[in-house]
């Protein structure tokens, strides 16, 4: 900073005053910037993004419980459903106009939150009805009711368009209230969140 005023004729107040003014302006800029950053940080802290990859009932229950809980805590919540998790957000089999591979995929991928298997203790499919019974008896939300609750609480739910294409799923086969997006949509949400989870 020194030496800036060397060429100036002495006596003209300008140099120090100009310096002070510049410093003050710089300080104001910095203060604004700090304010902006802390606001952005506070905004991010209030957001959570969950990437749901697994298609099992128990894992998705954990994801949806966190999501609804976060919404209750006043946070912005996004869930991205990709790959196996797409099974949870589809509602009907639609074979019309599909080729052989897509028909096969459509038939094989479980349909909706009530049709998913467990990651453990599946017991050839008996685990699911057993657990559903236990959940109801203990007054714990089932996966299907968690989905309804999530929608009611304004949880943003996005199905990965690329994974849908892989699985041969069309938009009209997905649950109501589901948005569609790709990697960029997902990363944008991740960048605007304080924490992100892959389940």
**Positions in the binding site for another protein (CB under 8 A):** 42, 45-46, 65, 68-69, 71-74, 141, 149, 153
Residue 6 corresponds to which tokens in the numbers above? Answer: 């060397």
Residue 194 corresponds to which tokens in the numbers above? Answer: 């304080």
Q: How far is the CB of 73 from another protein (least distance, A)?
A: 5
Q: How far is the CB of 119 from another protein (least distance, A)?
A: 21
Q: Give DSSP secondary structure letters for 81-130.
A: E-GGGGGGGB-----TT--HHHHHHHHHS--SGGGPPPSS--GGGTHHHH
Residue 21 corresponds to which tokens in the numbers above? Answer: 């003014």
- Please give the Cα distance from 62 to 140 (Å, whole number): 12
Query: Please, which residue, 42 or 123, has the CB nearer to another protein?
Result: 42
Query: Please, which residue, 96 or 139, has the CB nearer to another protein?
Result: 139
How far from each other are the two terminal CA atoms of the chain, in whole angstroms?
A: 54
What is the three-class DSSP state of 6?
A: coil
Query: Please, which residue, 59 or 90, has the CB nearer to another protein?
Result: 59
Q: How far is the CB of 153 from another protein (least distance, A)?
A: 7
Query: Please, which residue, 37 or 126, has the CB nearer to another protein?
Result: 37
Q: How far is the CB of 66 from another protein (least distance, A)?
A: 11
């Amino acid at each position: 900073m020194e030496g800036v005023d060397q060429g100036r004729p002495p006596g003209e107040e300008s140099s120090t005053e100009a310096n002070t003014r510049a410093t003050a302006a710089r300080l104001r800029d910095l203060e604004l910037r700090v304010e902006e950053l802390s606001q952005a940080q506070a905004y991010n802290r209030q957001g959570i993004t969950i990437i749901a990859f697994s298609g099992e009932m128990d894992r998705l229950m954990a994801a949806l419980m966190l999501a609804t809980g976060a919404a209750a805590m006043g946070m912005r919540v996004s869930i991205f459903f990709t790959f196996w998790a797409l099974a949870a957000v589809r509602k009907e089999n639609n074979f019309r106009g599909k080729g052989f591979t897509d028909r096969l995929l459509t038939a094989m991928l479980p349909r909706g939150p009530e049709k998913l298997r467990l990651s453990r203790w599946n017991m050839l499919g008996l685990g699911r009805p057993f657990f559903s019974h236990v959940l109801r008896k203990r007054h714990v939300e089932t996966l299907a009711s968690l989905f309804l609750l999530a929608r009611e609480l304004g949880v943003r739910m996005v199905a990965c368009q690329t994974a849908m294409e892989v699985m041969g799923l069309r938009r009209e086969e997905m649950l109501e209230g589901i948005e569609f997006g790709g990697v960029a949509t997902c990363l944008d949400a991740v960048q605007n969140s304080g924490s992100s989870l892959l389940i």
